[in-house]
Structure 1
Amino acid sequence: MIGNRLEYQRMYETERKLWWYQALHGKVLNRIQKHFGGEKRTLKILDAACGTGGLLSFLNENSYSNLHGFDYSQDAIGFSNERGLNVVSGDLRNVDAFEPGETFDVIICNDALYFLTDAEIVRALSAFKDRLNPNGLIIINIHAFEAFSGTHDLAVGSSRRFRLGQFEAFSKAAGLRIDYSTYWPFALSLPILLVRQWQKYRIRNQKVNVNELDSDVGYPGDVVNTILKAVTKTESVLFGSAPFGSSLFMTMRPD
């Protein structure tokens, strides 16, 4: 996705209202509130590989003001700066170079670690741990299960998907432990799976031009968006931790 300005444009225009982003941002906020309670003003939060800054804007609207972010894409940085956010250039492969010596209460990295090799993921997680304040929290969201790969993955440059067991190994190697995890959206798994399998069938049979694919980031209209948002919200209430879904959401702490 890096270098694909059109995808960042889509993200910038839709992430504050699209059901999927709203559900993810709600999960992040929920885990922060569960961990830290009502403490807000003093929390120092880093969004690593923050994209166009939708999550940081959401947190700011929920009274978190000590917010920092970095991204490798100049397009993402530009869109984040348009939101008035403190976002600069940075690389997940060299987290230590970002604001050297600064530490954070919360470090978030959503849907970005798939760009890295296994060894680079371990190094990034280890760097997050080293930049964490006492009682700090790491929050990760990542693409899950290869069965869900499709045109979206090709459009955003995702070469693979993950399972919880892999991140259990990564976190252990980095000196971390996973204290909460869930796959999501569980209730929408079947329709998402069917769509992605149809996409892969069309790709295999050369029914689509793989060089001109778009991601799934697009606003489906108010009615559909409201229904999908309600489904994911209900799921979060009913299932503390779901066993299947196209994304894997985790929180980590030093072991």
Structure 2
Amino acid sequence: MGLSHRSAQSHDHWFVTERDELHRSDAIELNGRSALNAAGIDIDDVVYLDLYSCFPSAVQVAVNALGLPLLDPDRPLTVTGGLTFGGGPGNNYGTHALATMTETLRKDPGAVGMVTSNGMFLTKHAVALYSTTPPRDEFRVTSPQLAVNARPRRVPTEHYSGTVQLETFTVRHDQQGLPERAIIVGRTGDGARTWSRSSDQGLMAALETEDLLGHSMRMADGHVEEISAVSREGLF
């Protein structure tokens, strides 16, 4: 059989724009730490992993938060092949991961496996530990939510005018595959976060062909006027 040892759940700051770092998850980090501490083990004691893999970025964020190597042939990040390849219609992938982890652990008695899940905009998170060996005491679910809530928050600002640093962006394409709109996120000098949209073809082409993260942008009333060629400073 496969036995649940420990589990932890919490959510990151609810509004994405308030999260201190868009490429990190405090909730995954603290969930992992909480579950592992409660089980009396550390991440190196976990033999099998299945990190929720709705998108590649979700896996990368989880790897960084849990202190795992991204590419370790001796400890893959999934036991199913991942959501895309292992199946999981609707919101059912977690069941596939748990079932496959149970089968995997039955073949390696005593080993520990970790399964993670997330929901919404990488917002809600859970981490659980499993093994064929019974836990040292009863199963418990912990929540480091208060610790997550205490992590720093960014203040959003609207209709900003001035110089910001390009924090991240995405370019949306139409049904013909042509660039349609850029959604751009910048940080002001005092650390606030501002969002902008642009349909400028030259700007979208530059965003898709050059590495502009961390570069300076000049904005007027929330619209990007120019991205500087000056190298990134202090953002990452």
Q: Return the TM-score normalized by structure 1.
A: 0.32
Question: More helix per residue: 1 or 2?
Answer: 1
Q: Return the TM-score normalized by structure 2.
A: 0.33
